[in-house]
Each structure stands twice: as C-alpha cells, then as structure tokens.
C-alpha cells in the first residue's frame, strides 16, 4: 500500500493569517524526501485552503500530485493545464467543513463519463471518491474510471464507537467488486494512526490518502516523523 499525503491543512493554517506561514512548498519538500506516492491537494471552488499557485509551486518540485476536484469545467481546465498524476473526483458543497460523503456517480453517470474523457485522454489517472456501495462501484466502472477511492469516513466513525466490523466488511465487499470489474482501489478519509492498520484487511488496496491525522500529529512530532510513522503502519 502506498501513501498519498494530503497537505490541504497546511494551507488551512497558513490562510488563517493570510500570510506565508507555514510554507506549503517547504512542507511538500519534507514529504517528498519520504517514500510516498503523491501529494494530495484539493482545489475547492471557494479556495478555502489550496490556492491555484500552490498547485503549480508544488508541481515545480517534481511532485506527483493527486488533485481532488469537483466535476466542474473551471477545475477541469486547471487540471488539464496542471497535468497532475491523478485526479480524484469528489462531491463539493460550500457549507461543508470537509468532504462529507462519496460522490453520486450512479446519478450522473452520463455527465461524468463525458467529463472525465478529456482528463483520461490527457493521460491523467481518474479516480472516483465513492461510498462502499455496489451501485456506485458499477457506475464508476461504466464511466471508465481507472480507480475508485473508497470513502472510509463511516468506517472511521464506527471505529471511534468501537464497532467497525460491519463498515469494514462493506469496504472489503466494494473493493472486491471493483477489482472484479477491473478498477484499482484506493481509500481515504478519517484514517488515523489507530485505525489505519485495519486497511490491510482489504485485499489489493493501492493507495491511502491521509491528511488530517498526519498534519495534526506533525504539530507534536514534526512533519517528517508524522509521515514516517504512518508509512511504517501501512507497510
């Protein structure tokens, strides 16, 4: 399993004062010293954390970027210009604190099939952030996505409440179905140092995208150690 480090919350902290600290590019350099697959960055419509320049400045370091994005033409144009390693299509609501659930691929499959075509043609890997739901997995295969990223938020909440077995089973089942349809499978949201080991029970997971817990831990340990600790847990 590989790790994508989500650095959005370094930008959240920087933007709290509107200046340059903490420096996102310096943080990206620290992360890139380690054996990670990619830096994950979400360019939201309201630019509440990552800004357009951040993407280009991190790309200049030679980083593989996994760009989380809503399925809008504005962000699609930016993706085609930036040429990230991969994009993960997520739902986006202005009022939400963070991404709240998976994307409804089933309900907009014809739109999404057309939407991802230029991204795929440009050679960008396309992932759909979905709940562990058979209909959504099948729709992701239908539209021609390369990957799904399973939303692990419900699993993470259940883990906190001490009863995660059912949610983990749902993830396992969805991953198996996706793989049988030729999709590669990633996972993310709410994963932390306590629950991440359980992701090893899901056969064939490629990548975990983790942000909040790593950036939170880094306040106490420094970013390099925080990432390194997570890498050790998922190896």
Contact 58, 43 (CB under 8 A): no
Residue 207 designated active-site? no
Cα–Cα distances (Å) from 134 to 15, 176, 190, in that order, read 39, 10, 21
Interface pick for ligand PXP out of 5, 28, 31, 68 (rule CB under 6 A): 68
Contact 172, 204 (CB under 8 A): no
CB of 89 to ligand PXP, least distance (A): 9
Residue 42 found at the interface with ligand PXP (CB under 6 A) = yes
Whose Cβ is closer to ligand PXP: residue 98's or residue 203's? 98
CB of 213 to ligand PXP, least distance (A): 6
Residue 128 found at the interface with ligand PXP (CB under 6 A) = no
Interface pick for ligand PXP out of 211, 217, 230, 233 (rule CB under 6 A): 211
Whose Cβ is closer to ligand PXP: residue 68's or residue 133's? 68
Contact 110, 49 (CB under 8 A): no
Find, among 86, 65, 69, 88, the residue nearest to 77 by Cα.
69
Assign residue 100 a region (left: φ > 0; alpha: ψ between -120 and 50; beta: otherwise).
alpha
Chain centroid to CA 3 = 10
Place of tokens 């996505």: 145
CB of 146 to ligand PXP, least distance (A): 15
Contact 202, 159 (CB under 8 A): no
Residue 90 found at the interface with ligand PXP (CB under 6 A) = yes
Residue 7 found at the interface with ligand PXP (CB under 6 A) = no
Residue 189 designated active-site? yes
Residue 29 found at the interface with ligand PXP (CB under 6 A) = no
Residue 129 found at the interface with ligand PXP (CB under 6 A) = yes
Residue 188 found at the interface with ligand PXP (CB under 6 A) = yes
Residue 146 found at the interface with ligand PXP (CB under 6 A) = no
Q: Where are the beta strands (DSSP E) in 50-170?
A: 65-69, 86-89, 125-130, 147-151
| Three-state secondary structure call for residue 112 | helix
Interface pick for ligand PXP out of 210, 223, 226, 227 (rule CB under 6 A): 210
Site for ligand PXP, rule CB under 6 A: 6, 8, 42, 68, 88, 90, 98-99, 129, 149, 188-191, 209-213
């Amino acid at each position: 399993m590989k790790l994508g480090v989500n650095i959005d919350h370094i930008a959240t902290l920087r933007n709290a004062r509107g200046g340059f600290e903490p420096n996102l590019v310096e943080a990206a350099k620290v992360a890139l010293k380690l054996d990670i697959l990619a830096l994950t960055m979400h360019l939201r419509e309201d630019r509440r954390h990552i800004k357009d320049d951040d993407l280009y400045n991190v790309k200049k370091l030679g980083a593989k970027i996994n760009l989380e994005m809503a399925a809008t033409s504005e962000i699609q144009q930016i993706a085609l210009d930036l040429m990230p390693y991969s994009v993960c299509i997520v739902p986006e609501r202005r009022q939400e604190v963070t991404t709240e659930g998976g994307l409804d691929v089933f309900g907009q499959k014809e739109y999404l099939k057309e939407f991802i075509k230029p991204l795929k043609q440009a050679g960008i890997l396309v992932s759909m952030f979905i709940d562990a739901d058979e209909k959504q997995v099948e729709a992701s295969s239908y539209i021609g996505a390369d990957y799904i990223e399973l939303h692990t938020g419900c699993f993470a909440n259940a883990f906190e409440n001490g009863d995660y077995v059912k949610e983990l089973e749902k993830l396992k089942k969805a991953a198996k179905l996706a793989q049988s349809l030729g999709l590669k499978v990633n996972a993310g949201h709410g994963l932390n140092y306590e629950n991440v080991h359980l992701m090893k029970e899901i056969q064939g997971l490629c990548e975990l995208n983790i942000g909040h817990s790593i950036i939170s831990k880094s306040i106490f340990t420094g970013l390099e150690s925080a990432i390194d600790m997570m890498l050790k847990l998922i190896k």
